[in-house]
């Protein structure tokens, strides 16, 4: 009797993890790998270089078939509109943003680290307020599309800024 109960508990406890892995609104490992490869080819000290990676995963999700757009399998159930696609790419850029923020924080001296923390908090408030304007200018679905794209663009730009700052901080320590 204990064994079936244990199996039932195991199934219940692992279901959220499996559902999360099957969520079409989360970045796939293929998307994560593509962005890592694209960023690996970009100059870490030049945010413009990394911009060539920006927006392409969203365009792939939207079904664009262009030379630069990666040909990636889209999970079943993914919607092909900006408010469905841009947040997926935003999530990936947010992962890089956190990584580069941590790297910069570790490489910076205390006063610069504190200033970076203040700037990050200010940037977050600015991003949220700016993208809220996008949603309010065009109420409805179009405004939500614009706000989702605004979030993606803002997170991408800030992530690349933090990459540059982390690179400069490491070089300054040498």
Give residue 153's domain range.
23-173
pLDDT at 75: 76
Residue 15 placed within a domain: no
List, run by run, the mean pLDDT of 10-residue segments along the chain (174 residues).
44 44 80 93 86 91 83 75 86 96 96 97 97 92 91 96 94 85
Residue 1 placed within a domain: no
pTM of the entire predicted model: 0.82
Residue 28 placed within a domain: yes
Residue 5 placed within a domain: no
Q: How many domains does the chain have?
A: 1
DSSP result, 109-127 = -HHHHHHHHHHHHHHHHHH
Residue 12 placed within a domain: no
- Answer yes or no: are the C-beta atoms of 34 and 57 closer than 8 Å: yes
Cα–Cα dist 75/21, whole Å: 11
């Amino acid at each position: 009797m204990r064994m079936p109960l244990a199996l039932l508990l195991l199934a219940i406890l692992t279901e959220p993890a499996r559902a999360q892995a099957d969520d079409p609104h989360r970045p796939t490992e293929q998307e994560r790998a593509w962005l890592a490869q694209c960023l690996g080819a970009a100059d870490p000290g030049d945010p413009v270089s990394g911009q060539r990676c920006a927006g392409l995963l969203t365009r792939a999700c939207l079904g664009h078939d262009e030379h630069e757009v990666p040909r990636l399998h889209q999970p079943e159930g993914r919607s092909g509109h900006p408010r469905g696609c841009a947040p997926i790419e935003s999530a990936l850029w947010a992962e890089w943003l956190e990584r580069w923020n941590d790297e910069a924080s570790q490489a910076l001296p205390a006063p610069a680290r504190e200033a970076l923390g203040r700037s990050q908090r200010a940037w977050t408030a600015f991003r949220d307020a700016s993208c809220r304007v996008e949603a309010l200018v065009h109420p409805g679905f179009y405004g939500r599309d614009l706000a989702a794209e605004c979030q993606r663009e803002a997170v991408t730009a800030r992530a690349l800024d933090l990459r540059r700052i982390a690179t400069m901080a490491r070089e300054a320590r040498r």
